[in-house]
């Protein structure tokens, strides 16, 4: 009899424990639900994000090789920019280059300066030769002018004879014009005759002046100017020959 009582008591305790645990679990579940926020179900777009791991690489690659090494100083192209053959992509700092390249750069600068000096020297030489030729020509012109201005060298004998013959004809024209003026009557006729007479005399006087110049010699003032022109030309030639 006591054995059954014990069994019933044990069963009762187990049943009571079970329902107690259930009640406690439900109470805790209600507390957890109270802290949650709810939302009315709606229809919309679903965004799905897929995550993955791996290595990123470009579709096209090119291997660049350089003839020297150094620190990049400036990049001349932008990212994604197209370039043509022969374009400079980047320049290196001079301080980061090898001593051989720095020396080669210095030699290049010296060579360029030497070339510029050579070209300048050739230009200077050409200019000096031109100045010398011009000085020679100026002196020759000055000496020629002085020579042909001297007595006996101003004109050839044929030129002088031709001028003297023209003077004879001019004197005859003056005589004829003078006679026509002397015999002219009426104001208009005399005015026309006087005009012809004046023209004839001017022509004769011009021929006479030419003959006098052909047979004459330079004055002291003219000779001084001629000598000065020659002296100046000689000085310029001497300066150009230095």
Asked if the model's pLDDT at residue 230 lies above 80, the reply is yes
* Residue pointed to by tokens 């003056």: 174
Higher pLDDT, 142 or 15: 142
231 pLDDT exceeds 80? yes
Burial letters 32-47, b for 16+ CB under 10 A, else e = eeeeeeeeeeeeeeee
Give 3-state DSSP helix, strand, coil % of the chain, rounded to 5: 65, 5, 30
Q: Which residues contact 163 (CB under 8 A, 6 or more apart)?
A: 155, 207, 210, 211, 214
pLDDT band at 191 (very low <50, low <70, confident <90, very high): very high
Q: Do residues 170 and 207 touch, judged by C-beta distance below 8 A? A: yes
d(C-alpha 154, C-alpha 215), whole Å: 7
* Mean pLDDT confidence for 153-158: 90
* pLDDT band per the 50, 70, 90 thresholds, residue 192: very high
Tell me how crowded residue 218 is: count the other CB atoms within 10 A of its CB.
16
DSSP 34-50: HT---------------
Instruction: Assign 178 a pLDDT band (cuts: 50, 70, 90).
Output: very high
Q: Say if pTM beats, i.e. exceeds, 0.75.
A: no
Supply the DSSP symbol for 140: H
**pLDDT at residue number 117:** 74
For 152-214, give the secondary structure using H, E and C: CCCCCHHHHHHHHHHHHHHHHHHHHHHHHHHCCCCHHHHHHHHHHHHHHHHHHHHHHHHHHHH
Cα–Cα distance for residue pair 101/159, rounded to 1 Å: 80
| pLDDT tier, 68 (very low <50, low <70, confident <90, very high otherwise) | low
- pLDDT averaged over every residue in the chain: 80
Least confident of 40-44, 71-75, 92-96: 92-96
First CA to last CA distance, the chain: 156
Write down the pLDDT at residue 62: 66
Residue 24 has pLDDT above 70, yes or no: no
Q: How many CB atoms lie within 10 A of CB 144?
A: 10
Q: Which range, of 83-87, 188-192, 232-236, averages the lowest pLDDT?
A: 83-87
Lowest mean pLDDT among 10-24, 151-165, 205-219: 10-24
Residue 161 is predicted with a pLDDT of: 94
Instruction: Please give the average per-residue pLDDT across 67-81, as a whole number.
Output: 73
Longest dimension (CA), the chain: 204
């Amino acid at each position: 009899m006591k054995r059954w009582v014990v069994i019933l008591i044990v069963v009762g305790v187990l049943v009571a424990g079970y329902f107690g645990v259930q009640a406690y679990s439900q109470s805790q579940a209600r507390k957890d639900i109270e802290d949650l926020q709810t939302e009315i179900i709606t229809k919309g777009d679903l965004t799905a994000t897929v995550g993955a791991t791996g290595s990123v690489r470009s579709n096209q690659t090119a291997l660049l090789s350089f003839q020297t090494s150094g620190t990049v100083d400036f990049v001349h192209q932008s990212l994604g920019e197209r370039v043509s053959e022969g374009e400079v992509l980047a320049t290196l700092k001079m301080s980061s280059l090898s001593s051989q390249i720095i020396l080669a750069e210095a030699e290049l600068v010296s060579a360029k300066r030497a070339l510029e000096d050579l070209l300048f020297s050739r230009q200077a030489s050409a200019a000096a030769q031109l100045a010398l030729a011009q000085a020679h020509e100026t002196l020759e012109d000055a000496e020629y002018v002085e020579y042909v201005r001297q007595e006996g060298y101003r004109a050839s004998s044929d030129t002088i004879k031709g001028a003297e013959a023209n003077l004879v004809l001019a004197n005859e024209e003056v005589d004829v014009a003078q006679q026509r003026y002397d015999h002219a009557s009426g104001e208009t006729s005399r005015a026309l005759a006087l005009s012809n007479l004046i023209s004839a005399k001017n022509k004769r006087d011009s021929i006479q002046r030419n003959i006098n110049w052909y047979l004459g010699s330079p004055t002291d003032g003219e000779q001084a100017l001629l000598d000065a022109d020659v002296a100046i030309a000689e000085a310029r030639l001497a300066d150009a020959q230095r």
